[in-house]
């Protein structure tokens, strides 16, 4: 088996993912815009490349995980980008969360160069990236996925093929509709209880095992009560994902009234909340209602 | 231990709950507005009473589980009601979902007669009532709860004391904010995927184990795909509960923007959906978007 | 022409209305819960009555204008109420804003006593009441309206028969949907301009004469810029009216998503805003966005 | 006075505007993507140009009025665009409705060529364009506006300078927040009345002169009752403008909950409504509620 993998983007998610590939015996060539991070990874066994094109030139599989649609377009299609180095029949596996439509466009352009693309966004946050337990939703050709599966197995515990190119991104956006909606329900329920004078810890215990239960309730409600706003998943990223959702929904003329409202609540968070965890959403309703939840 | 329990209200929930008390060795006196149901339970070992007052006259614990606030007020305070028969130091355990404020008022009136009240609404639906696995959220005096705990243990697997009188109802309403909000997020996520052409079954599988996971997703999304609208929990009851939530929120001047919106979506369901399960909420967004989800 | 009119309710609206009747030559018998106000009106030519029943006993037309549904029910149907004194063929003209359904119920009960009822709520605020330029929306029998028209002409400039009993109230609630929706649009537009750095006074001038124009924009936007929150129409009354609207909509299973949202924004106003003018709604969006509009 | 004006974009709005310039004695050079329209205008006295660059080469003032941001960027900055022909100290007056931020960017690029830009979007619809009674909101240098005022006076009756570059567009977006919000309130009010059985024509008459009054109510409510969906202003353009609003609001982190909701309601309109008038918004609420308004 060819154990060479290129890796572009060593951020909060990318760095631990690249480390997991190294641990699993893959030979990793890495590029990062801020080169200090690539240098650090080189000390742990990776080869540092000078550009995405250089990464692509020597690897049959190139993983990208950067911030947003323009970043993927830049590292793949831009000057010094993947397309300038990629060999025919290679695969770009984009694990960023970006626009499904932009994904299909990049896949088409790679196809014109006899290359392949999978969109393989993840959920599970920084902890899942560190633990190698991410959920990976894959769009693109299923045979190509099989070729990449060994590498992906070093990164996640659930790898589900969900459809053609762009569908991985679409399912990730479905995931985010659920995450944002469930979290907002947690915030409204807690604030309701607070105003009525309920012991919120007991209330969470009483309801979390039943029909009201969710990952967001079990994991984030206790943090909200402690005002622990350290990030699992950052507000700024959720704001970006909500923009992607509403843009994609708009292009198909689909109204999503509650998601649109939750997007507005996220917009009301101040700039300084951008690096806090999504549970900081509670601050919006606190502001609107003039009441603060405290444990 | 005194094994006598009075039981008022033999509906979808009440009938299997009363049966579980009988199975657990309790001596049950039952009353139901439609007396045929009480007669049926009498064949299974209960004693049929002619009025709530008659139930109250011979039992230290009287459980009520009826439809709405006025129904509880009627069976407890009305003509032939519990108050006309109840003995001092007896306990009314109201397991209906009603207004917290009305609950406190009834508790006060019972207190003036040297009697006690617990509000003990449940979640878990008809299946939980049959299986004796309900979650029970209890408001009122903790010592009084201990007196009633053996009977409640025949009905539910989780019995949590959440505060003073009315707080059980408040926590139940928190539960319903979460249920309705999570369900609405499921509906928006599925419709988003549908419009984008996703294989919805695979999408649900890909996301349900992670941060997007919820009871509503795991249990109701598959039914939505099959257009199986048989009730676990009925639309009509959820509409009633949303009214209770918004009324209670209004009395404390608390804005709940998303819950208010979900209430409007539930309002758009036609009268004939009142007896369907809450997953019929999908019909509202189908109507608004002009697209139908089908498996 | 019989110039006798009974008048019940001498609040912000009722007092100047009763004065206008006196000025127009009507013989007014007045009752108010706080009797000092009735005493004051007596100095201006009215006769002070000890109860609504006493008002009703001597007048063929009895006008009521009190706060809310229970107040109308109390002065008409309660102990010492209108029904205890009213003569057959007399007319109760209720000019309060209350529930259409409650209105129809009161009309029915009066009908059983061979009496009539018009619902005749008003718009135009305190200034309109003082100037006698109110808009009056009348529900009930048209012939009965003709009998009362001379008195109503002393109070308003526009008297429109809009349908059967309750329809006056329904049209008033339509009026309030428009008022609240238009005002909320003003608030969002101003805040949008503020955040973008627009000169708001010029912006209002540039748009108010065209398709964006409304009474709310022309009259309340300038006050918002000056932070002049003195009431034309009070927040507390609008909150009551929004409750009536959503309750009536609910009873017909009608979703009103935007009105529901505006109701939540009004709910976020603090208790101390209850006596401010509705333009204080801007404070909700200021709170949510963390930005204050100032001239 | 130099009476030469270049005109780019002869659509529903542009064609009658260019005619008004000709009627007012201006010497018009015109370009349109579909050249048949420019040919038609040539028969009425204009000179037909082969490209935006050709228009720009011979005119000190160049008016553009095209569909959306990319169209303005294309005719001004693209191949054969205005910048390829424009002479120093000339003025581009963009009367399209586009992004304020994109406007500032184009203005900056024109400034680098020693040229000027005004953003001068309009309200008043096709009828206003024909009658020369548009409202024009102008951003940019005030002295430059004075230079262009004679031409603008042939097009509109109200010409208001509202601030620096981009501010004309911002005020136009404020205008659209008001238009959309007021229209949505009309739709909800009418549907409320319909469900309650009100005579809607009388209801409109009763409320339109007071605090509930708006241009949208006076002009579009009667059309809604007649199901006359011919455009004044088209749904498709409003959808575009709502996108611009929410994008601009997002870039300043401003929540606009009601406008976001109205945007979703507009999204629920089917593709075939794109060329109908905005009053077709009623179809969304009809769909959601399952009830149709008919006169």
User: Looking at residues A3-16, what average pLDDT do you find?
Assistant: 97
CA pair distance B193, D98, nearest whole angstrom: 31
Encoded tokens for A4: 């060479």
Tens digit of pLDDT for each residue in C253-289? 999 999 999 999 999 998 889 999 999 999 999 999 9
Name the closest residue on chain C to residue D139, using Cα atoms: C198
Encoded tokens for A243: 């923009």
Give the closest of A260, A269, A270 to D264, CB-based. A260
Residues of A in contact with B125 (CB under 8 A): 211
Cβ–Cβ of B261/C260 closer than 8 Å?
A: yes
DSSP D94-123: E-S---HHHHHHHHHHHHHTT-EEEE--EE
Active-site residue, B172 included: yes
* pLDDT band, residue A295 (cuts 50/70/90): low
What residues pair up with A118 in beta bridges, in sequence order? Answer: A93
> B173 vs chain D: nearest CA distance in angstroms?
25
DSSP C235-275: HHHHHHHHHHHHHHHHHTT---HHHHHHHHHHHTS-GGGTT
Cβ–Cβ of B253/C271 closer than 8 Å?
A: yes
User: Looking at residues B159-185, what average pLDDT do you find?
Assistant: 97
What residues pair up with D6 in beta bridges, in sequence order? Answer: D29, D62
> Would you say residue D295 has pLDDT above 70?
no
User: Looking at residues B140-164, what average pLDDT do you find?
Assistant: 97
* pLDDT band, residue B271 (cuts 50/70/90): confident
User: Looking at residues C17-38, what average pLDDT do you find?
Assistant: 97
Cβ(D188)–Cβ(C174) under 8 Å?
A: no
Rounded-to-10 torsion of CA B122, B124, B127, B128: -60
Residues of C in contact with D181 (CB under 8 A): 181-182, 184-185, 188-189, 258
For an interface test with A, the pick among B119, B133, B134, B211 (most A C-beta atoms closer than 10 Å) comes out as B211
Spell out the domains of chain D, with CATH numbers in brackets.
4-165 (3.40.50.720), 170-289 (1.10.1040.10)
User: Looking at residues B88-98, what average pLDDT do you find?
Assistant: 97
CA pair distance B259, C141, nearest whole angstrom: 40
Cβ–Cβ of D260/A263 closer than 8 Å?
A: yes
Check CB contact of D290 with chain B, cutoff 8 Å.
yes
CA pair distance B87, B107, nearest whole angstrom: 15
Q: What is the CA radius of gyration of chain B?
A: 20
Count of C-beta atoms within a 10 Å radius of residue A256: 29
Stretch among A14-18, B71-75, C85-89, C229-233 having the lowest mean pLDDT: C229-233
Instruction: Name which of A104, A100, A105 is nearest A251 in CA terms.
Output: A100
Residues of C in contact with B270 (CB under 8 A): 253
Give percent of chain C with pLDDT exceeding 90: 96
Residues of C in contact with B243 (CB under 8 A): 250
> D211 vs chain B: nearest CA distance in angstroms?
25
User: Looking at residues A14-39, what average pLDDT do you find?
Assistant: 97
Strand-pair category, C116-119 with A27-31: unpaired
For an interface test with A, the pick among C266, C269, C289 (most A C-beta atoms closer than 10 Å) comes out as C289
User: Looking at residues A17-44, what average pLDDT do you find?
Assistant: 97
> A268 vs chain D: nearest CA distance in angstroms?
5
pLDDT score for A263: 98
Encoded tokens for C199: 């000169």
- Which residue in B37, B48, B172, B283 is the catalytic one? B172
- Contact partners for chain A, using 3 or more CB pairs closer than 8 A, are B, C, D
Give the closest of D255, D264, D268 to A267, CB-based. D255
Cβ(C117)–Cβ(C64) under 8 Å?
A: no
- Average model confidence (pLDDT) across chain A: 96
> Would you say residue D151 has pLDDT above 90?
yes
Ramachandran region, residue D245 (left: φ > 0; alpha: ψ -120 to 50; beta: rest): alpha
Kindly report the pTM of this predicted structure: 0.95
Cβ(A252)–Cβ(B189) under 8 Å?
A: no
Residues of A in contact with C257 (CB under 8 A): 257
CA pair distance C44, A31, nearest whole angstrom: 89
Give the closest of A246, A253, A264 to D255, CB-based. A264
> B246 vs chain C: nearest CA distance in angstroms?
10
Give percent of chain C with pLDDT exceeding 70: 100
> C292 vs chain A: nearest CA distance in angstroms?
13
pLDDT score for A240: 96
Catalytic machinery residues of C = 172
Check CB contact of A195 with chain C, cutoff 8 Å.
no
> C49 vs chain A: nearest CA distance in angstroms?
43
pLDDT score for C295: 53
Tens digit of pLDDT for each residue in B41-87? 999 999 999 999 999 999 999 999 999 999 999 999 999 999 999 99
- Which residue in A3, A23, A157, A172 is the catalytic one? A172
Give percent of chain B with pLDDT exceeding 70: 100
In A45-166, alpha helices (H): 52-57, 69-77, 100-111, 125-131, 142-153
DSSP 8-state secondary structure symbol assigned to residue D204? H
* pLDDT band, residue D294 (cuts 50/70/90): confident
CA pair distance C285, D57, nearest whole angstrom: 48
DSSP chain B: ---EEEEE--STTHHHHHHHHHHTT-EEEEE-SSHHHHHHHHHTTPEE-SSHHHHHHT-SEEEE--SSHHHHHHHHHSTT-GGGTPPTT-EEEE-S---HHHHHHHHHHHHTTT-EEEE--EESHHHHHHHT-EEEEEES-HHHHHHHHHHHHTTEEEEEEEESTTHHHHHHHHHHHHHHHHHHHHHHHHHHHHHHT--HHHHHHHHTTTTT-BHHHHHHHHHHHTT----SSBHHHHHHHHHHHHHHHHHTT---HHHHHHHHHHHTS-GGGTTSBGGGGHHHHHHHHT-----
Count of C-beta atoms within a 10 Å radius of residue B79: 9
> D243 vs chain A: nearest CA distance in angstroms?
9
Cβ–Cβ of B264/C243 closer than 8 Å?
A: no
Name the closest residue on chain C to residue B272, using Cα atoms: C253
Cβ–Cβ of C212/D163 closer than 8 Å?
A: no
Name the closest residue on chain C to residue D216, using Cα atoms: C211
Give percent of chain A with pLDDT exceeding 70: 100
* Chain D residues 221-280 with CB within 8 Å of chain B: 257, 261, 268, 270
Instruction: Name which of D37, D98, D101 is nearest D65 in CA terms.
Output: D98
Check CB contact of C286 with chain A, cutoff 8 Å.
no
Cβ–Cβ of D188/C256 closer than 8 Å?
A: yes
Tens digit of pLDDT for each residue in A224-277? 999 999 998 999 999 999 999 999 999 999 999 999 999 999 999 988 899 999
Q: What is the count of residue pairs from B and D with beta carbons less than 8 Å apart? A: 18
Check CB contact of B202 with chain A, cutoff 8 Å.
yes
> Would you say residue C164 has pLDDT above 60?
yes
User: Looking at residues B180-202, what average pLDDT do you find?
Assistant: 97
Ramachandran region, residue D125 (left: φ > 0; alpha: ψ -120 to 50; beta: rest): left
Instruction: Name which of B169, B149, B28 is nearest B98 in CA terms.
Output: B169
Residues of B in contact with C289 (CB under 8 A): none
Cβ–Cβ of D177/C188 closer than 8 Å?
A: yes
* Chain A residues 131-160 with CB within 8 Å of chain B: 135, 137, 158, 160
For an interface test with B, the pick among C180, C250, C271 (most B C-beta atoms closer than 10 Å) comes out as C250
């Amino acid at each position: 088996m060819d154990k060479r993998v290129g890796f572009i983007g060593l951020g909060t998610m990318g760095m631990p993912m690249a480390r997991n590939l190294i641990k699993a015996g893959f030979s990793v060539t890495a590029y990062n815009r801020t080169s200090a991070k690539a240098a650090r990874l080189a000390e742990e066994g990776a080869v540092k490349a000078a550009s995405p094109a250089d990464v692509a030139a020597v690897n049959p599989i190139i993983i990208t995980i950067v911030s947003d649609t323009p970043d993927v377009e830049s590292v793949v299609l831009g000057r010094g980008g993947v397309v300038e180095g990629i060999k025919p029949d290679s695969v770009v596996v984009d694990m960023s969360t970006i626009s499904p439509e932009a994904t299909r466009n990049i896949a088409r352009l790679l196809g014109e160069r006899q290359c392949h693309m999978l969109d393989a966004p993840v959920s599970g946050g920084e902890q899942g990236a560190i633990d190698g337990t991410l959920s990976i939703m894959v769009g693109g050709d299923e045979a190509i996925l099989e070729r990449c599966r060994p590498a992906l197995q070093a990164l996640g515990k659930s790898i589900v093929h969900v459809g053609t190119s762009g569908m991985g991104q679409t399912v990730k956006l479905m995931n985010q509709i659920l995450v944002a909606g469930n979290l907002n329900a947690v915030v409204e329920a807690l604030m309701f209880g607070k105003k009525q004078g309920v012991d919120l810890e007991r209330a969470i215990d009483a309801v979390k095992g039943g029909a009201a239960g969710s990952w967001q309730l079990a994991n984030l409600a206790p943090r909200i009560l402690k005002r622990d706003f350290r990030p699992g998943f950052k507000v700024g990223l959720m704001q970006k994902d909500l923009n992607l959702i509403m843009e994609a929904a708009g292009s198909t003329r689909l109204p999503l009234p509650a998601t649109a409202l939750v997007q507005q609540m996220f917009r009301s968070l101040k700039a300084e909340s951008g690096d806090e965890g999504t549970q900081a959403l509670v601050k919006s309703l606190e502001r609107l209602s003039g009441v603060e939840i405290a444990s």
